[in-house]
Amino acid sequence: MGGPIPILKVGPNLLTTIHVELTDSIAEVFQQDVLRAIERTGAGGLVIDISVLEEVDTYVARVLADTGRMAALMGTRSVLVGMRPEVAATLVRMGYGMEGVETALDVDRGIARLASLKENR
């Protein structure tokens, strides 16, 4: 766990809140931290909370989507939660709808989504 973004085990899942600027170097360490945490804890799901972020450009959006894809390759489902209205509107206007990324309004609904994904597997 080398990066500045904490990754917490909450029940059967991992929860992480992006609270800093995702620069190239922070993004890479974050992705590695997430994957190591999945391996270490055997977490069934990953909740990525972006409610603090006032803007998400296509670079950050790609980092977030890629993190979910990396987790998926290891067998862990992920859900992106807390996207602000301004961020959702801006990403779609740019043509970046983050297709294939599971989303939920907040952390509670994200955890519920992970539980239902598990049942339907």
Residue 97 forms beta bridges with which residues?
Answer: none
Nearer CB in complex with another protein: 10/105 = 105
> To the nearest whole angstrom, how small is the minimum distance from the Cβ of residue 1 to another protein?
22
Q: Which residues bind another protein (CB under 8 A)?
A: 21, 23-25, 54-59, 62, 84-87, 89-90, 93-96
Which DSSP letter does residue 95 get? Answer: T
What is the rounded distance in angstroms from the CA atom of residue 54 to the CA atom of residue 67? 20
Cβ atoms within 10 Å, residue 19: 13
Nearer CB in complex with another protein: 2/85 = 85
> To the nearest whole angstrom, how small is the minimum distance from the Cβ of residue 112 to another protein?
28
What is the rounded distance in angstroms from the CA atom of residue 48 to the CA atom of residue 68? 9
Nearer CB in complex with another protein: 84/109 = 84
> To the nearest whole angstrom, how small is the minimum distance from the Cβ of residue 96 to another protein?
6
CB neighbour list of residue 110: distance below 8 Å, 6 or more residues apart: 47, 49, 79, 80, 81, 104
> To the nearest whole angstrom, how small is the minimum distance from the Cβ of residue 90 to another protein?
5
Nearer CB in complex with another protein: 39/66 = 66
